[in-house]
Structure 1
């Protein structure tokens, strides 16, 4: 997206950028009313405008029709989000781990922190693209198709990237375990 600046007025060379500038606050406000967090609302806003980018004739519509279309897409994205959370409720790994360990003393907490720090350090050693793909998939819960749109990759390429990244992390952990046993 190229932006040309003249005096204090910003002119967009891409028509969808102007749509975002004009309607993003209104759509974000609507989404924020119906979500639990600002981050969830911002994620859905991103999905709405990704859909807008895919609709080539949206800038040609009248402003009223543009806003109506964006609101309808936002409503659909909210519905999908509700359905997704009902079908696949998300629980943190820590909450599940607590079910298996009755006694959570200082030693257990220290081991958990060490394991999380180790995972973070291994992930930080990965290339930026792999880090982004992992974050989008496991932190934000996006599908491979949605990640593909954001990273401008095909869905099958994202699947392969995630698979290879996870396989690499498994190898790193198995090597680390092998070194501990020796």
Structure 2
């Protein structure tokens, strides 16, 4: 493994990749969840190197240090993304995909949507607005707090309580008549 780049100072990006690609990939492979992820991250590191025109004027050790720092940052970003959006195997996901051609599933989806709409209508106007801003417009709690002129922890708490209330509303068993219809 290349630990010292004292006598090496690549002068073009191809040479830089040949010199530093293996140690950067090795580092990423040790810490990444798969070989493919390590390859993707290595590509990201050297893509970032293309965006730094001063990199080729630096000494070898400084170039390698910069590449290692970028690799560590890319790896950290990858961990964060994986924790925010856990990966699901495609074959598992395929089982729960909505089939638009199945009339039973379409009817069930419509009924669920109607029930959700009814429950949301029972919420206060502020709670409805919170849901609309968060899920309808995709705003983060900080943005919602700014729009509503409230502090972020208060908005986060209100949103959490609103979602809990909706869950409670869904868990209350509805009364059905003998035909299976709601009374």
Q: Which has the larger helix fraction?
A: 1
- TM value normalised by structure 2: 0.45
- TM value normalised by structure 1: 0.46
